[in-house]
Structure 1
Amino acid sequence: MTNFPFGFGKPSGDGGEGNDPNDLSAQMPLFAELQKLLSWSGGPVNWDLAKQLAVSNLGGSAPVDPADRSAVADAVRLADHWLDDVTDLPSGVQSVESWTRLEWLDKTLPVWSSLCDPVASRVVAAMSQAIPQEQLQALGANNPFAGIMQQVGGLMFGAQVGQGLGGLAREVLSATDIGVPLGPAGVAALVPENVAAFAAGLERPADEVRLYLALREAAHQRLFAHVPWLRKHVLDTVAEYSTGITIDMSAIEEAMRGVDPMNPESMQDALTGGLFEPRQTPEQEVALRRLETLLALIEGWVDTVVTAAAGQRMPGADALREATRRRRAAGGPAEQTFATLVGLELRPRRLRDAAALWWAVTEKQGVSGRDVIWTHPDLLPTADDLDDPLGYGDRAVNLADFTAPDDLSGLDVSGLDVGDRKDPGTDGPDEADGPDPRP
């Protein structure tokens, strides 16, 4: 259960002397704080509360040691140098940063807002209509809860988002760790505290783990920096999935029937246990597969170029590759919690198929023939191509001489069919069980 600041969420009283739950004057401190929380007007999610609770759930954020900061900068510089040999895309790193867990929250909140607000707006609107009006009217015309259920919904959703982000902040390794560009453009960043925890579970030297993760971060930065339509396409695809979500109104109504508007804890209890889990429609399944394919193509390309760059230079490259693949496939506890909250799993389930496809294209068409595919969204492989990743290299037309328009930054990528399947009900193979993409 989420722990709210300022005592919000605590029982309103036991009915003893001086603590009458119906005596509003005795609860003015609570209502003063509640009014402060309800003053949010920045959208369907109360992001002020979300950040408060995320920071609270972190339980502290260790500062970055200067030696770690220097080691991260050196690792990213070396990673970028190695990547120059294996991709035509130039460096996308404008600056290197080492983030604390708290800094990760600060830097990524704007993107989380764009990811969460679409589904939150639907949930909050449903909540505002779910409590029977007679329950509110029974409290009188001047009761403090009349007309504010929508703000309360935003507050409660913000509380749950904050709890999820606080958990994620303890797990993420870099700015691009979940495959979505969360941080500022051009900023390559690692979270040293989490990197150290990840390395502790592996039988590899810490500096080798850091360099491997720097390779992945630098590769993501190259892709998003030099494929100008890609960042918008990823976020638009997530928004397309979210805005089509169907909220189970009957579940919300049932949960809200037991809410006592005078007791915030009863509302908190009503909003736990998967209430926010949306129902997935056939249209949503198609949109999700489109998103999964796009994420797999991104992660597969990164996997391919990092493997080529590490090559014989890094003794533990294969072990680290497998560890990061399995980590992305399974997701940590916090990522799973967040997926339950927003109804979205940001995991590239077909990463191995995508890596095999990019490797096959590299073998047949060379590095230039592979990287030019990112020049235009119409050239991207589809989910059908992932069904036969090794054969795609033979089928693909040589694209090395393809010339794209000079400016694709304003390209309208909405409605693209990247990731569509002929059979929406066919799942791809599990990421952890697919073949190694290399011959």
Structure 2
Amino acid sequence: METMDSQSSAAAPGPSLINWELAASTAANLAPAGPALSGKEIGAAVADLRLLADRSVPYVHEITGLDAARDLRDSQVLVVDRASWAKANTQSFSVLMQSTMAALAKKQAAALRPSSVALSGTVTGAQLGGVLAFLSSKVLGQYDPFAALAGRPGAAAGGRLLLVAPNIISVERELNVDPSDFRLWVCLHEQTHRVQFAAAPWLRHHMLSEIEKLSTLLVGDTDKLAEKLVSAARSLTRKSAEHDGAPSRGGLLDLLQDPEEKAALSHLTAVMSLLEGHANVVMDAVDAGIVPSVRTIRQRFNSRGKDRGALEKFIRNLLGLDAKMRQYSDGARFVRGVVAETGMSGFNHVWTSADHLPTEQEIHAPTLWVQRMGL
């Protein structure tokens, strides 16, 4: 399996408010062990995932009608383990948070000595590592559109698709489904994300700008941030006790109260719902001619998680993971609704410009988007 290279040299010099290297090493040390596999089994799984990742692209092209699926050489496909997935995300987070961390460091420069910044970076890095360790065993695949912006030597101009082999193998065994069918099914979803960003080259920088805006708002008032975090955690504890782990709207993102913060979150929620829902529609569009056991896979996969323990439910709520799952279903309903009215060619207007992205209200009422687009 591929391993991630060393941390980006593009990071700001001197002590950082987040120790990214520590976050990556902490995640690697704390990540749960994956399934027991011999070297031969690992090699076979990696080769199979690479093959199926390539095989899935023509199906994505056929279903989406996006010509970007014809040539995806601007990005990479990597088959990784849990530690490498975590390190890849620290590299992307460092890109996403760079301007925000720089502004925050400048704001606090008068109050914090370099030794205090280093200590804060160590604590925050260790905490982030713990979060990534938990997530590293949950993610099957991820398209990272921001990889090239980290300044890594030899990086592709676009993003990188990460297929987390131990997690894919664990889930296919848990569900007792055909490995090749399940792996192709997963690849269809993840390759769709790769095609989305290839079809809309402006989308990466648009999302980066919106994420930077939201993160700046979130950490802008550091005096109130800790109070908000504690309040959010208490609220989740209460909800878990009263509703047996019923999901909140967005975990830690529930702490956003300012109208500008809510507007920024609403836009990002709509975009993420679109991307995840569209990928799910592609997954669901395949039939037994492509993935012979697709009905069994869908049924068993959708039934997962019903027996999660109380601690995992709390953590998932805290991180907003259940809210993310709702993005899949909300976004899929939007895509199906638009396609039903306009066909896939009408829906594909969404990749034309940022002005064509749906609002959160339109995600829940596809006809509003159709009307705004004049379709």
Please state how far the C-alpha of 1:153 moved relative to its aligned partner. Answer: 0.8
Q: Paired residue for 2:116?
A: 149
User: Quick one: distance in 1 between partners of 2:125 and 2:81?
Assistant: 22
Q: Is the 8 A contact 1:127 1:252 kept in 2?
A: no
Pair 1:172 & 2:153 matched? no
Instruction: Tell me the alpha carbon deviations over residues 276-302 of structure 1, each in whole angstroms, 9 at most, x when there is no partner.
Output: 999422232222222111100111111
Pair 1:97 & 2:78 matched? yes
The verdict on how the C-alpha distance between 1:362 and 1:288 changes in structure 2, with shifts beyond 3 A counting, is same
Q: Paired residue for 1:280?
A: 256
| SS of aligned partner of 1:148 | helix
The one-letter code sitting in structure 2 at the alignment partner of 1:360 is G
Q: Is the 8 A contact 2:278 2:332 kept in 1?
A: yes
Q: Paired residue for 1:402?
A: none
Q: Is the 8 A contact 2:78 2:160 kept in 1?
A: yes
Q: Paired residue for 1:308?
A: 285
Please state how far the C-alpha of 1:42 moved relative to its aligned partner. Answer: 5.7
The one-letter code sitting in structure 2 at the alignment partner of 1:291 is L
The verdict on how the C-alpha distance between 1:278 and 1:187 changes in structure 2, with shifts beyond 3 A counting, is closer
User: Quick one: distance in 2 between partners of 1:243 and 1:329?
Assistant: 36
Q: Paired residue for 1:414?
A: none
Pair 1:395 & 2:371 matched? yes
Instruction: Tell me the alpha carbon deviations over residues 172-198 of structure 1, each in whole angstroms, 9 at most, x when there is no partner.
Output: 21133xxx6465635433111110112
Pair 1:356 & 2:330 matched? no
Please state how far the C-alpha of 1:249 moved relative to its aligned partner. Answer: 2.7
Residues matched between the structures, number: 320
Q: Is the 8 A contact 1:101 1:170 kept in 2?
A: yes
| SS of aligned partner of 2:275 | helix
The TM-score, its normalising length taken from structure 2, stands at 0.70
| SS of aligned partner of 1:171 | coil
Deviates more, 1:319-328 or 1:50-59: 319-328
Instruction: Tell me the alpha carbon deviations over residues 10-51 of structure 1, each in whole angstroms, 9 at most, x when there is no partner.
Output: xxxxxxxxxxxxxxxxxxxxxxxxxxxxxx826321112222
Q: Is the 8 A contact 1:328 1:347 kept in 2?
A: no
Q: Is the 8 A contact 1:79 1:211 kept in 2?
A: yes
The one-letter code sitting in structure 1 at the alignment partner of 2:223 is M
1:80 to 51, 57, 60: 57
The one-letter code sitting in structure 1 at the alignment partner of 2:350 is I
User: Quick one: distance in 1 between partners of 2:98 and 2:132?
Assistant: 14
Q: Paired residue for 1:114?
A: 95
User: Quick one: distance in 2 between partners of 1:173 and 1:112?
Assistant: 19
Pair 1:249 & 2:190 matched? no
Instruction: Tell me the alpha carbon deviations over residues 199-256 of structure 1, each in whole angstroms, 9 at most, x when there is no partner.
Output: 2232422222111101011111100122111122222222211110255637869xxx
The 5 A counterparts of 1:281-430 are 281-282=257-258, 283-310=260-287, 313-318=290-295, 320-321=297-298, 337=315, 340=318, 347=324, 349-389=326-366, 391-392=367-368, 395=371, 397=373
The verdict on how the C-alpha distance between 1:345 and 1:153 changes in structure 2, with shifts beyond 3 A counting, is farther
Deviates more, 1:278-287 or 1:212-221: 278-287
Please state how far the C-alpha of 1:60 moved relative to its aligned partner. Answer: 6.0
Pair 1:159 & 2:126 matched? yes
Q: Is the 8 A contact 1:85 1:309 kept in 2?
A: no
RMSD: 4.1
| SS of aligned partner of 1:172 | coil
The verdict on how the C-alpha distance between 1:51 and 1:186 changes in structure 2, with shifts beyond 3 A counting, is closer
The TM-score, its normalising length taken from structure 1, stands at 0.61
Q: Is the 8 A contact 1:101 1:169 kept in 2?
A: yes
Q: Paired residue for 1:223?
A: 196
| SS of aligned partner of 2:24 | helix
Q: Paired residue for 1:67?
A: 44
Pair 1:54 & 2:35 matched? no
The verdict on how the C-alpha distance between 1:121 and 1:277 changes in structure 2, with shifts beyond 3 A counting, is farther
The verdict on how the C-alpha distance between 1:114 and 1:126 changes in structure 2, with shifts beyond 3 A counting, is same
Unaligned runs of 5+ in 1: 1-39, 132-145, 254-275, 400-439
The verdict on how the C-alpha distance between 1:345 and 1:115 changes in structure 2, with shifts beyond 3 A counting, is farther
Unaligned runs of 5+ in 2: 1-12, 149-157, 228-251
Q: Is the 8 A contact 2:22 2:122 kept in 1?
A: yes
The 5 A counterparts of 1:33-48 are 41=14, 43-48=16-21
Please state how far the C-alpha of 1:340 moved relative to its aligned partner. Answer: 4.7
The 5 A counterparts of 1:175-214 are 175-176=142-143, 181=145, 183=147, 185-214=158-187
Q: Is the 8 A contact 2:95 2:146 kept in 1?
A: no
The verdict on how the C-alpha distance between 1:105 and 1:93 changes in structure 2, with shifts beyond 3 A counting, is farther
Q: Is the 8 A contact 1:119 1:242 kept in 2?
A: yes
Please state how far the C-alpha of 1:326 moved relative to its aligned partner. Answer: 7.7
Please state how far the C-alpha of 1:76 moved relative to its aligned partner. Answer: 1.3
Please state how far the C-alpha of 1:84 moved relative to its aligned partner. Answer: 2.3
User: Quick one: distance in 2 between partners of 1:361 and 1:236?
Assistant: 27
The 5 A counterparts of 1:254-273 are none
| SS of aligned partner of 2:336 | helix
The one-letter code sitting in structure 2 at the alignment partner of 1:308 is A
Q: Is the 8 A contact 2:141 2:164 kept in 1?
A: yes
The one-letter code sitting in structure 1 at the alignment partner of 2:362 is D
| SS of aligned partner of 1:175 | strand
User: Quick one: distance in 1 between partners of 2:371 and 2:253?
Assistant: 41
Instruction: Tell me the alpha carbon deviations over residues 141-194 of structure 1, each in whole angstroms, 9 at most, x when there is no partner.
Output: xxxxx7621221111111111222222222221133xxx646563543311111
Please state how far the C-alpha of 1:370 moved relative to its aligned partner. Answer: 1.5
